[in-house]
Structure 1
């Protein structure tokens, strides 16, 4: 791991500005009437020398962070709406979808940084995703087994209760079988 490249924290002249000056810079960036050169000149006039390119790099970082926050907010809103509309969706399925989406985005937008990701870390992420799928399948099988056990129990009790009327027993058992099949079918969605 000694020859692996380390990530360095981005340090900018803007990071050295006092909070009130940085707030003014942010306000000027939000106003489309100012160019990066106008902002650099204004900040320099306040006694803090800064270049146009430093303002531009800060704006790109700032916009990238704002875009990521906006995307996360939109995804959360869509996720909450999906949960409201699909109350029977398993939470591990949602978690897996979120993780797969995040991992796919990271792979798609990675340059050489992805190559620097330790293999064991990538492996752990994939194992976690696979484990989630296995747990969901195990939960589904256990749920189906429980439904079948309840169905058998109810049918046995019905046989005892209506021994004298085989037609009624057959109709009741069909109702129970249909309800069990309907409940088991909810997992297939």
Structure 2
């Protein structure tokens, strides 16, 4: 297994302060940050700080993107057909897929075969409920659409019999039935 970076070995409070400084500096000024660490009594190279900063920056970007996507979903998606749940499941599936690719791209120095297999096993075990949720959501949507189709067929029959006027049928088609797509 690969050795932990010198930055990851720092005490938690120092590492968190470094992460705050990284964010405050826009993930730049690595020489200044290495000097700050030296003043704190830790001899860590500029390149080690840069490697760690790159990882933190990617994590921050991922969190920011997920947060923004969740906000947009919550603001923009009415939830009549469970659009938010579908979007959240899609986001999770994307993240799991990206994680699997990242695990596969790790070199043997970074992660030995046993550790890689262990990670894959954990991902597989944890993805099962996600797949079940996705399948159930699709089943729910299909059943809802089928139920709506049946109800609309009855309304069309009433319209042909003259017990429902064409204007009301049109409103139902656009305002209610349109929610299912």
TM-score bracket, normalised by the shorter chain, equals: 0.5 to 0.7
Say whether 1:46 aligns with 2:40. Answer: yes
| Partner of residue 141 from structure 1, selected from 119, 140, 146 | 146
TM-score (normalised: structure 2): 0.63
State the alpha-carbon separation in 1 of the partners of residues 147 and 27 from structure 2: 63
Q: How does 1:1-189 map to 2 (within 5 A)?
A: 12-17=6-11, 19=13, 22-23=16-17, 26-27=20-21, 30-31=24-25, 35-83=29-77, 87=78, 89-91=80-82, 93-108=83-98, 110-111=100-101, 113=103, 116=117, 117-118=120-121, 119=124, 121-145=126-150, 151=155, 170=162, 172-175=163-166, 177-182=169-174, 185-189=177-181
CA separation in 2, counterparts of 1:33 and 1:126? 37
Partners of 1:120 and 1:21 in 2: CA distance: 32
- Tell whether the 8 Å contact from 1:25 to 1:39 is kept in structure 2 after alignment: no
Alpha-carbon RMSD across the aligned residues, in angstroms, is 3.9
Bigger-Rg structure (1/2): 1
Structure with larger RCO (C-alpha < 8 A, sep 6+): 2
Q: TM-score, normalised by structure 1?
A: 0.61
What count of residue pairs does the alignment treat as equivalent? 161
